[in-house]
Amino acid sequence: MPDVLMFADTYRSPELRHEVPIGIPDPFLYAELDGAKHIAIGSMEIPRLAELGLFELHPAEEYGSDELRRAGGRSHAEITKEVSVRAVKALGITSAVVPDSFPLWLADRLRADGVELTVDGTFFDDRRRVKTDAELAGIRRAQRAAEAGMDAARELLRRAASESSAQNGNGLEVDGEPLTVERVKSAMSQVFAAHGTTSDDFIVAPGPQGAVGHDMGSGPISAGVPIVIDIWPRDNESFMFCDMTRTFVVGDIPEDVQKWHALSKEALDRAISEIKDGADGRAIFEGTCEIFEAAGEPTQRTKEAGTTLANGFFHGLGHGVGLEVHEEPGMGLSTKDPLRVGDVVTVEPGCYRQGFGGVRLEDLVLVTNDGAENLTQYPYDLAP
C-alpha cells in the first residue's frame, strides 16, 4: 500500500473523517506510513484522539511550535502549516497518495522538498465505499430520522386534505393558515434535530418545481399537484448521510401522475431485486430505462447526443451515500465499477414533465453477502 497524506479538518473532508471518526474543526496533518497512522496536531486535541487508540500522535511541540510561536511574526495558521511540513520530513515520507482536495500550498512546499505526490481521488473513494460498523449505524440512525421527518410532512398534508375546502389546484390550509413549502420544511427540520441529525436544506417541491433537478421548492402547496419530497439528513455523531424521496398528492391524483408513480415503483422493485455483490450498476440502470421507454417515456439512452433531456426519466438511477450524500458508486450510463458488499446506494427512479411536475421514489439499499437490504422502511402511497 502507498503512503498517504491528508491535511484537512474532519468536518469538511469526508476522506479524513473516514479515517478519524471524531469532529476536529481545525486542519491538521494525517499520514499513513508503512501501515501506521500518524497525526500531527495541536496538543489540545491529543486526549480525544488518544482515546480512540488508532494513531501514533505527534503534538505540534514535537516539531518546534513553541519556538515558532515565541519568535513571533507568524499566525497560528502559518505555524500549523510549518509544523505540517516539518512533520512530513521527520516521518521520512518521500512519496504519498493525496486526495483531490489536498491543499496546493502544501503540495508546492512538499514537492519543492523532493516529496512525490500523486493525486488519486478514486483511491480515497474506494476506501470509503465499504462502511465501518459505526458508519453503517450512523446511516441507519439518519434514515430513521428521515422517515420521522417524512411523517411530519405527511401529517401536515393529511390535515390539509381534511381541513381545506380548496381542491382542484387551489391552495391548501392547515389550522386556518396557508400550507407552504416553508411551513413543511420547518416542521421537518425540527424533527431532524430531535433525532440527532442536521439538514442544511432539502427538497419539498410542489408542481412544476418538482420537475426541475434540485429545485429545493418554495411557496404555497396546492391540491391536485404532485409534491416531491427528497431529504438527506446527516447523523450528528457519525456525519453519515441517508437519502430518501417520496411523492404525495393531496386530493384528486392526475392520471399522468398515477402512471409515473406506477412506473417508478415497478422500476424501484426491479432494481432492488437486481442489487447484489458484483452487480453491474449500468445494467441495473438500463433495466430501469427499459421500463420507462416501454411506456413511451424518454430516457438518457434514447435522447439525441448533445441535447439536454428535461422530461421522462432524465437522471441516473442512483449513487453511493456515506460521508457525502453523493459519492461512489453510481448507477448510470457512466458507471464503471461493479457493486460490492458494504456499498450503500440509492435507488431513485422518477418521471417528469416540465411545467407540470413529476414523481420520484427513492430508497436506500445496503449491498450484503446475500444480495441487498433495503434500509428504508416507509410506504410509497401517493395519498398522504
Domains: count for the chain: 2
Q: How far apart are CA 8 and CA 276, in angstroms?
A: 34
Task: Say whether pLDDT at 16 is over 60.
Answer: yes
pLDDT at 168: 44
Same domain, 248 and 175: yes
Query: Is 259 in the same domain as 168?
Result: yes
- Domain hosting residue 358, numbered range: 133-374
159-179 confidence digits (pLDDT tens) = 998 877 644 447 899 999 999
Which is it for strands 371-374 and 357-360: parallel, antiparallel or unpaired? Answer: unpaired
Region of 225 (left: φ > 0; alpha: ψ -120 to 50; beta: rest) is: beta
Residue 383 belongs to some domain of the structure: no
The pLDDT of residue 186: 98
Q: How far is CA 155 from CA 176, 286, 346, in A?
A: 16, 36, 25
Q: Residue 139: pLDDT above 50?
A: yes
Q: Are residues 193 and 332 in the same domain?
A: yes
Q: Is the pLDDT of residue 60 over 50?
A: yes
Tens of pLDDT along 284-312? Answer: 999 999 999 999 999 999 999 999 999 99
Q: Is the pTM of this model over 0.85?
A: yes
Alpha carbon 128 to its chain centroid, in Å, reads: 12
Between 269 and 68, the more confident residue is 269
User: Which of 79, 103, 128 finishes a domain?
Assistant: 128
Q: Cell numbers at residue 329, please?
A: 458508486
Same domain, 200 and 246: yes
**Mean pLDDT, range 138-155, rounded to an integer:** 98
- For the residues 87-111, what does the mean pLDDT come to? 97
Instruction: Identify the pLDDT of residue 195.
Output: 98
Please tell me the predicted confidence (pLDDT) of residue 165: 61
E-strand ranges in the chain read 4-8, 28-33, 36-41, 56-59, 95-98, 116-119, 173-174, 177-178, 197-198, 203-206, 227-231, 234-235, 244-248, 318-320, 327-331, 344-347, 350-353, 357-360, 363-368, 371-374
The domain that holds 310 is classified in CATH as 3.90.230.10
Mean pLDDT rounded to a whole number for the chain: 95
Instruction: Please tell me the predicted confidence (pLDDT) of residue 164.
Output: 72
DSSP one-letter string for 114-130 = T-EEEE-HHHHHHHHHS
Tens-place pLDDT, residues 228-278:
999 999 999 999 999 999 999 999 999 999 999 999 999 999 999 999 999
- The mean pLDDT value for 142-164 works out to 94
226 pLDDT more than 70:
yes
Within a domain: residue 53? yes
**Residue 180 binned pLDDT confidence (cut-offs 50, 70, 90):** very high
**Cα separation, 245 vs 146, whole angstroms:** 9
Beta strands in 181-243 (DSSP E): 197-198, 203-206, 227-231, 234-235
For strands 363-368 and 344-347, give the pairing.
antiparallel
* Cα gap 60→62, rounded to integer Å: 5
Which of 68, 96, 128 corresponds to the end of one domain?
Answer: 128
Predicted pLDDT at 162: 81
The verdict on 66 and 84 lying in the same domain is yes
Rounded average pLDDT over 351-361: 97
Instruction: Among 99, 128, 157, identify where a domain stops.
Output: 128
Q: 57, 41 in Cβ contact below 8 A? A: yes
**247 and 313 assigned to the same domain:** yes
- Asked whether residue 266 falls in the same domain as residue 284, the answer is yes
Mean per-residue pLDDT for 326-333? 95
CA angle (22 as vertex; 21, 25 as ends), nearest 5: 130
- For residue 142 the three cell numbers come to 439518519
Asked if pLDDT for residue 10 goes beyond 90, the answer is yes
Q: How many CB atoms lie within 10 A of CB 73?
A: 6
